[in-house]
Amino acid sequence: MGLSTMQDAQVFKERCEDSPGVLVLCQGDWRPTEERVRLFEEQNYYVLTAANGYQDIVDWLPQPRCIGAMFAHPGTVNQARQLYPDKVIERFEGVGARFLRTLTQELPYGLHNAGLPFTATTPPSLKTVDVVSVFSPVALKRGQLLVESLLAANVTAYLFAQSLGSSPELLASFFDVVQKAGKQIEYFHYPFDPYALLRIDGRIVIDGRPIGANNSVVSAYLARARLLVHTSTTEGISNSVMEALLNDVPVLVCDDIRGPLQDLSLQLPECISRSAPETEALAGHIQALLSATRVPGAVRETFRQVIDPFEINRNMVRGVQEWFARNGLPWKGHCLGLLGGVQSKIDLATSTAEESYRGHRHIYPSAGEAVQCAGFQMQIAQALGQTAHVASLRAEIGYIQAGLAAPVVESTATPNPALHSLLTTLAQSPRLKHVLVVGAATSPHLDTLIAQLGHNTASPQLHCIENSPARLEAMMQRYAGRGFVHGYHASSVAREAFPSEADVRHFYAATPGKLQNYPLDHVLDWLRQDVAEMESGSLTPNAIPSILAQLGIRQFDLAVINGREFTGFAELQQVYGCETIILECTQTFKNQRNLASLSQDPAYELLFSESDIANGLAVFTKR
């Protein structure tokens, strides 16, 4: 996070230079590194965080610059209030970037969307769309299950696609689902928008834009919908669910939903229905909910009795005002800023309604996916002879390519001197030929390794395994000028290498460490998500032996294990014999067992160990 990011947020500071700014860090994405905390101090900003669960209690709330948090779990709110009674703690993770933007920009949204504000409640009999939902082809979102269920229910539907067209393989899989259902796909364009849409069987429309580009459109269509369907297996309390309930629109989720939305569905059975995650069951629930007679306003008012986002927002502001007063700080109005989430580059004072809708800069997971998606749209426009749309999309591709290449922000945080010296020595060893980093994009020491490997006259090669394509692409873009850095989107191990839930439960109960900072249910959810990802077939397994075979070598010279939480032990078995092994997260399930094993191994010597660096770090070398 650099100075330019802070300057983007200045527009929300109301130019009260003697009054500190307050930034809302959404979704717990921003960790309190030394660099960020120092920047907040220099720029005179305080922090409010919004998170799904316990992470902000662990990370942000102890920080003096953090004055409060918003949580989705009622139990988490109570725990935080007990631990930090002087800070502002409120429920409701769902007050995210888009939601706050929508609340504060109702007038321009109404102008842009034919005069219909998203908060207007239309009687069910006047709604124009049966179902609104989000189509996403990733395994945990279950977009294919959603499409199959809507086709079986024979309803009208409007779906917002997440990067549909950014992956040819995922697009082909989606087309296969439609073909097997015996339905036809046609392409068309709205006259006021350059993006392509897909219509299935003349009833279901899939909006081919990335979600970051159509935030106000989501709100407008929710105002016209009779039902929101949400097929994800794991989710925070999403903006769409909040906006649907405020629009008096019932919500349908699957029984196996995890996270805050599961809690909310149990609290609001009159507003949120549940179904088995099967096509026939979902289709039946959709038809029943659409045909049921509802009292106008009942969903909205029941929801607001449990969670009133407007009142929670007011409470948050009042709490901040009181905190400022207790600490002798000036307060000149509502200084909440937005950083993280969606479209933080919007100056509310100068933007037109159209600019507000589009944003001054689109938020995409990566420039490559954005260009692929816009190119997909442009091909359809060309096939339909829409020359104006082709020109618009071609210009957008150029804009994406020119504007999304964010500058590399070099960290100026002071590392542990002993560790920095050791990493420098190891990376400059003339014996190094091949270095492996598992979980490279999240390793806090990757910059040091890459910088020092670049000075090594032996020209060692760095092989980075990442299971997240977005993180891998961002990392490869950052190190695009380093020809010795090679990235692999894959799983380091196979599905069979993951522990069972019983193994994790036993470890959690029997092994003291930093894993106990998180509730057991959360830890097990991490395992289930990882397993679901592996079982979806989206990742090539056993990347470590595969890379070794490609290189024609028996073992790497140096290996860093910082991958997924539950694969560290299996990864150690595959790199055992390395000259040097670096373990990160030695105080959690990932490498706690590995730390104990190598510490007792006569073949290895412990060079460095520090439990207070992140979640623990240790460096071993062969004797």
> Domains in the chain, ordered, with CATH?
3-92+308-355 (no CATH), 110-162+210-306 (3.40.50.2000), 417-622 (3.40.50.150)
pLDDT recorded at residue 353? 35
> Taking residues 509-538, what's their average pLDDT?
82
Q: What tokens appear for 442 in the block?
A: 């999240």
The whole-number pLDDT of residue 541 equals: 92
Cα Rg of the chain (Å, integer): 25
The pLDDT of 318-322, averaged and rounded, is 84
Q: What percent of the chain has pLDDT over 90?
A: 25
Q: What is the pLDDT of residue 151?
A: 93
Alpha-helical runs (H) found in 33-187: 34-43, 55-59, 74-83, 97-104, 106-112, 143-153, 168-180
Residue 82 tokens read as 């007990």
Tokens for 287?
């038809």
Mean pLDDT of the chain: 77
On the question of pLDDT at 9 being above 70, the answer is: no
Instruction: Report angle CA 352, 358, 364 to the nearest 5 degrees.
Output: 150
Q: What is the pLDDT of residues 266-292, one digit of tens each?
A: 889 999 999 999 999 999 999 999 999
Q: How far apart are CA 241 and CA 250, in angstroms?
A: 9
More confident residue, 1 or 431: 431
Mean pLDDT of 101-130: 58
The CA dihedral of 159, 163, 167, 168, to the nearest 10 degrees, is 40
pLDDT of residue 122: 60
Mean local confidence (pLDDT), 60-64? 88
The pairing of strands 461-466 and 196-200 is unpaired
Which range scores top for mean pLDDT: 104-113, 408-417, 437-446?
Answer: 437-446
Confidence class for position 367, pLDDT limits 50, 70, 90: low
CB neighbourhood size of 618 (10 A): 21
Name which of 78-87, 300-309, 520-529 the model is least confident about: 520-529
pLDDT class of 500 with cuts at 50, 70, 90: very high
pLDDT of residue 366: 55
Span 413-445, pLDDT tens digits? 345 777 888 888 888 888 899 999 998 766 777
Name the H helices within 271-383: 279-291, 298-306, 309-326, 353-358, 367-383
Q: Are 335 and 13 in contact (CB under 8 A)?
A: yes
The beta-carbon contacts of 308-315 under 8 Å, at least 24 apart in sequence, are 309/92, 309/94, 309/95, 309/99, 309/103, 309/242, 309/246, 310/103, 312/70, 312/90, 312/91, 312/92, 312/95, 313/95, 313/100, 313/103, 315/90
The predicted pLDDT at position 178 comes to 86
Higher pLDDT, 318 or 7: 318
β-bridge mates for residue 487, sequence order: 464
What would the mean pLDDT of 582-591 be, rounded to a whole number?
91
Output the pLDDT for position 414.
40
142-187 pLDDT, tens digit per residue, is 888 999 999 999 999 988 876 666 666 777 777 788 888 888 888 7
